[in-house]
A and B are shown apart, each in its own frame.
Chain A
């Protein structure tokens, strides 16, 4: 997959979080296109916009109002979104949470990082990596 075709949807409530992710993305490659949403509802709206069409969705697990946990389940109800890879991010490394996310259709579970380089690294892995474990990167905190 060429870098230029990379479309991402970020669903993150925290503005600092979004900034951090965007900085990491710059390191991944200048040609990734990303759409931002501050909650699940906006996320769903973005998804339905024709110019969006993301290949990947990165979203937070814990958000005010609605958690990201069953978002994959929700979007996969529509066949046009079946192939989108959904990656969930969280500070939590709670095994219950991780198991549930896997059962509900997430492709990968990423624990939040503090190093922007590491994050860029992991993002690249999720896009190009093969045979990745479900849980990426144990917490550094």
Chain B
């Protein structure tokens, strides 16, 4: 005789089914002993992308990434649930369309009256948003830490280098007081005080320019480098005349960049090339389109631009010191020591880099790498 199922049980079972089916925020599914999917709910469809028809009978390992499947993660979880009653996990999973989501998963073993495992329930929650914001927070924290460190270093070096001209001013004032009746000495000391004050102002200006670089508010636009160099050479026309400098400019490319910064870049390089020269400066600015991987550290195509001079040069072993803020290799020529640090920062902002080849007494060549930027980048 067939067992009579009271209406009450039927209703409660029905309600139970509806309860699970309509939940949207959690995927609640039933797996058989081998992990094959027995039923589906709305949440499962929302989170994983499959409809009931598409997924019934398939194994739950299709939700796992290739690597996880190869390493046997789904099997491990089922085995854990079988042994311990439940297994939980958080990790990247795969949707029907191949996209990834961060799932929080609990697999619970279902037992019959004899305590034998007959299947599993799997409850999954999509925590992608939380995961992404956590990762972003980590990145932000690291970036803040780095910036703080840079700031500390910079503040230390800045205060030290600004103190130097200040100290001189006071020392000369002291000397002037001692020899106040000596008109000639007085004139001498006053000139010295003036030039120290001037140096401080130049240092402060350069420091400001350097620190402003970290705030990249301006946008990228098309820049014709030939025009930039022409403008810079115009700015230095008096100096060029004075030093009888010969400057050759070969055709340069048009690049994507921040105009003010690119101008500053060439201004610094060209002024250095003219200044740090004990004789007649001869400077050549040219370009090489770098599309192949000659330089193993470059993966992207870009432009290699060189600025070569016949100036005082320096020993190649000091090559990377040259780009440190305030690091000067000689005090024989007037400089604040920030120019090249500025150039390096500017190139880094544009995704590029700068290197230098030099020989003491034989001249220096700076090589700039500017990657080709196809879309306008915003920070």
Binding site for B on A (CB under 8 A): 13-14, 16, 20, 23, 62, 64-65, 91-92, 112-117, 141
Contact = CB atoms under 8 A, between A and B. Distances in A.
B328 interface: yes
Given A16-B168, A16-B192, A20-B171, 20 more contacts: A13-B331, A14-B164, A14-B331, A16-B196, A20-B175, A62-B160, A64-B327, A65-B330, A91-B163, A91-B164, A112-B167, A113-B171, A114-B171, A115-B171, A115-B174, A116-B171, A116-B174, A116-B175, A141-B167, A141-B170
Interface string B296-340: 000000000000000000000010000000011111000000000
B238 interface: no
Interface centre among A14, A64, A112, A141 (most CB of B within 10 A): A64
A134 to B, nearest CB: 21
B186 to A, nearest CB: 14
B192 A141 contact: no
B178 interface: yes
A92 B330 contact: no
A20 B331 CA distance: 17
Contacts of B318: 65
Given A13-B331, A64-B331, A91 B175 contact: no
Contacts of A13: 331
A117 B168 CA distance: 15
A82 B34 CA distance: 83
Q: Which 3 A-B pairs have the closest CB atoms?
A: A114-B170, A114-B171, A64-B328
A114 B167 contact: yes
Contacts of A91: 160, 163-164, 167
Contacts of A14: 164, 331
B315 to A, nearest CB: 9
Nearest to B169: A114
Contacts of A23: 175
Contacts of A141: 163, 166-167, 170
B332 to A, nearest CB: 9
Nearest to B166: A141
15 contacts: A13-B331, A14-B164, A16-B168, A16-B192, A20-B175, A23-B175, A65-B329, A65-B330, A91-B160, A91-B164, A91-B167, A114-B167, A115-B174, A116-B178, A141-B163
Contacts of B174: 114-116
B345 to A, nearest CB: 21
A16 B245 CA distance: 30
A126 to B, nearest CB: 19
A91 B163 CA distance: 8
A62 B196 CA distance: 18
A23 B178 CA distance: 12
Contacts of B166: 141
Nearest to A90: B160
Contacts of A16: 168, 192, 196
Nearest to A91: B163
B177 to A, nearest CB: 10
B339 to A, nearest CB: 14
A59 B144 CA distance: 39
A65 B330 CA distance: 7
Contact of B330 (A64, A114, A117): A64
A112 B327 CA distance: 20
B215 to A, nearest CB: 30
A115 B160 CA distance: 19
Contacts of A62: 160
A141 B164 CA distance: 10
Interface string B146-180: 00000000000000100110111011001100100
A13 B164 CA distance: 13
A65 B160 CA distance: 17
A66 to B, nearest CB: 10
Contacts of A92: 160
A110 to B, nearest CB: 13
Contacts of A114: 167, 170-171, 174
Nearest to A66: B318
B152 to A, nearest CB: 13
